A and B are shown apart, each in its own frame.
Chain A
Amino acid sequence: MLLLQGALSGVLFGGVYSLMAVGLTLIFGVMRVVNFAHGDMMVWGMYLAFLLATGAGVDPYLAFVVCAAALFVLGFAVQRALVDRILAAPHEMQILLMLGVALVLENLALVAFGPEPTRVRSPLSEATIWLGPVFVDVARLVAFGVASALTLALYLFLFRTDLGRTMRAAADNTYGALVIGTDVRRVYAVAFGVGAACVGAAGALVAPILPFQPPTGLSLSVTSFNIVIIGGMGSLLGAFVGGLLVSVAESLGAVFLKPSLKELFSFSLLILILLVRPAGLFGRRAS
């Protein structure tokens, strides 16, 4: 029963992990840059939800729209102002730049909000529903529903709209996209914006569930990388499935070991999957 409860909580929280990882894998897939500031961007989504809740009384389950839009602008600007300059640079340069962005975002959050853990109250976050022997946390259920809907919306955007198809084309063959007259710089900036918007929304959705503080960003970044590597770098489906798997692994780890050791399970999962499938679950081998 404990197993069932743990798995259920894991799956429900996994929706948010999936959304977060989908954003990271989109950015990587399109421009081959790893966004080391991903978790810190997400923390800013959380603080924005916090500000909207405390300042304007907006419930985080509505505020996610504003947070996504704000993070889109941030991502777009970071790409245009910084990332665009290092696209052709060696990987270590890109890592340094993105780590720099992460440090700036984290320390700005420290200056603005201080180091204490924060949590956003929502009327939903206290409610639970009993489903036979297991209970469902309503906040997690809503977060799962919204995050899954957003992931589906992103999928539809990428596969059913001209801009989305263009983004996939630029990811598939950048030179080919240039040849047919694509404004690749704009596509890159939009892709970075959309990837950041994913964590903006994800941040707002977990703000009532997960207490956070500025350094939370690092662990969220690490979790995102873990998921994306498990799923296969650049694979959207992989990021989605990987998000659920990692979340379930962490949830079971918290139940059977102790909460502070939950990452033991998810990183063991990573090692296990890399041993069996070095390119990740849905990854294609580099050709």
Chain B
Amino acid sequence: MSALLRLEGIEAGYGDMTAVRGVSLEVRAGEIVALIGSNGAGKTTTLRAISGLIPLRGGRLELDGRRLEGATPAAIVAGGVAHVPEGRQLFPSMTVEENLWLGARTAESRRRRAETWERVVALFPRLAERRRQLAGTLSGGEQQMAAIGRALMARPRLLMLDEPSLGLAPVVVSAIFENLARINEDGVTILLVEQNVPRALRLSHRAYVLENGTIALAGESGRLLADEAIRRAYFGG
């Protein structure tokens, strides 16, 4: 199977600090891939480097076989990658509807905006109820739904999510994860960064474990979940 996204030995960081050193991974079309690891392992940095939000200091970044090192965030989004960032990063003083509409930036996604909106609110009916409400007044779970909805409005081929469960009640997390599975069944490939390791492994097909900025372990999620030694070493259980 061909890789939709391929990273080869990427390096990235902030100032003097290198947070990601030599990370290689690939995400194949149709997969859900989890990227797990402890705080500060470099998960967020990896996603930000893929999105072009921080510069790559080395390595190869390929989307569908096209080299994308040094591309702007706008070019990455236009290439079909949507990023649901840590902390959601909505536009708090704009309405839910405006937040979502802004997610459609390419000519194609703009033209099909009304149609995509219908698909998104079918997944998250709450967003339709709250469409005129300011995003800053939403609950945490609703904000996460709005952030995912905004990313879906770009009609991405690859959806990257950074800690979508952070700070949310378990029942809300379950609802969001169910929807991620449905989004994937609709043909969207997913790269998921998550601290809730058991949940991430149950949802994903394959997983990479990041440790100190490098890939320490990779494999099929079911096997990682089942392996006692791995569970003790990495997931504290």
Binding site for B on A (CB under 8 A): 162, 165-166, 168-169, 172-173, 175-183
Contacts and interface: CB of A to CB of B under 8 A. Distances in A.
B86 to A, nearest CB: 10
Contact of A176 (B76, B90, B98, B101): B90
A59 to B, nearest CB: 39
Interface string B184-222: 000000000000000000000000000000000000000
A165 B98 contact: yes
B91 A168 contact: yes
A267 to B, nearest CB: 30
Contacts of A183: 72, 74
Most buried by A among B76, B90, B98, B102: B102
Contacts of B93: 168, 172
Nearest to B101: A165
Contacts of A166: 102
Contacts of A172: 91-94
Interface residues of B, number: 27
Contact of B94 (A169, A180, A182): A169
Interface string B2-36: 00000000000000000000000000000000000
Contact of B77 (A162, A168, A169, A180): A180
B78 interface: yes
B219 to A, nearest CB: 30
Given A165-B101, A178-B73, A180-B102, A173 B91 contact: yes
Contacts of B90: 173, 176
A251 B77 CA distance: 53
A278 B29 CA distance: 54
B53 interface: yes
Contacts of A178: 53, 73
A23 to B, nearest CB: 20
B85 interface: yes
A139 B150 CA distance: 48
A211 to B, nearest CB: 41
Given A177-B102, A178-B53, A180-B77, 11 more contacts: A162-B101, A165-B98, A173-B89, A176-B85, A176-B91, A178-B73, A179-B51, A179-B85, A179-B89, A180-B154, A181-B154
A176 B53 CA distance: 11
B141 interface: no
Interface string B112-144: 000000000000000000000000000000000
Contact of B103 (A168, A173, A180): A180
Contacts of A182: 73-74, 105
A65 B3 CA distance: 53
Nearest to B135: A172
B110 interface: yes
A175 B82 CA distance: 14
Q: Which 8 pairs between the two chains have the least Cβ-Cβ distance?
A: A181-B77, A176-B89, A172-B91, A181-B74, A169-B91, A181-B105, A179-B85, A183-B74
B157 interface: no
Contacts of B103: 180
A181 B78 contact: yes
Contacts of B94: 165, 168-169, 172
12 contacts: A166-B102, A168-B94, A172-B92, A173-B92, A175-B89, A176-B90, A178-B73, A179-B53, A180-B102, A180-B103, A180-B105, A181-B76
Contact of A169 (B53, B73, B102, B151): B102
B83 interface: yes
A166 B51 CA distance: 19
A180 B78 CA distance: 10
Contacts of B73: 178-179, 181-182
Interface string B140-163: 000000000011001000000000
A172 B150 CA distance: 15
Contacts of A181: 73-74, 76-78, 105-106, 154
B102 A165 contact: yes
A181 B94 CA distance: 18
Contacts of A165: 94, 98, 101-102
